[in-house]
Amino acid sequence: MAVAILGVTALALFEGFSTGWATVATVREDLRATQILTQKTEAVRLLTWAELTNCPTTFEEYYYPLGGTNSGVMYYGTMSATGTATNLTDAIPKPLYANDVLLVTVDIYWTNNIGNQVLVHHREAQTLSAYDGMQSYFYGYNR
């Protein structure tokens, strides 16, 4: 009887370790996705208007970029800048600055496997960029 109790206890202990490590790995992957989103949206603040409308629309990042051949999870992302922010198109009358504001959306996807099941994760961030935004102060030009 004692051996059975010891066996069940050991099994529960190792299952707890396994679940804990899986949870930590998932949280780390999610945190890295948040870091990538922040990096891309902060870069938008320093892009000129021409660079913003002509920037690459897709990107790939690793979980650990300096890891060489074993860099971990691959994150696939898209970045789009739409003509006007969606909340400006409904306003009546349309604001004069509506054509000078872009809605920038950054999406990121990554996958991990749990057994035979593939889990796709997704995060998204949006920001607004104005024609006369922060880049005007940084680069020292005006209209």
Q: State residue 33's pLDDT score.
A: 94
Residue 84: per-residue pLDDT: 62
Residue 138 predicted with pLDDT over 70: no
pLDDT score of 135 more than 90 = no
Q: Report d(CA 105, CA 125) in Å as an integer.
A: 6
Phi and psi angles of residue 28, each rounded to the nearest 5 degrees, phi first: -65, -40
pLDDT tens string 91-114:
667 777 777 888 889 999 999 877
Cβ–Cβ < 8 Å for 14, 22: no
Q: What does pLDDT average to over the chain?
A: 82
Which domain covers residue 119, as residue numbers?
A: 2-139
Quote the number of domains for the chain: 1
Answer whether 0.85 is exceeded by the pTM.
no
Q: How confident is the model at residue 81 (pLDDT cuts 50, 70, 90)?
A: confident
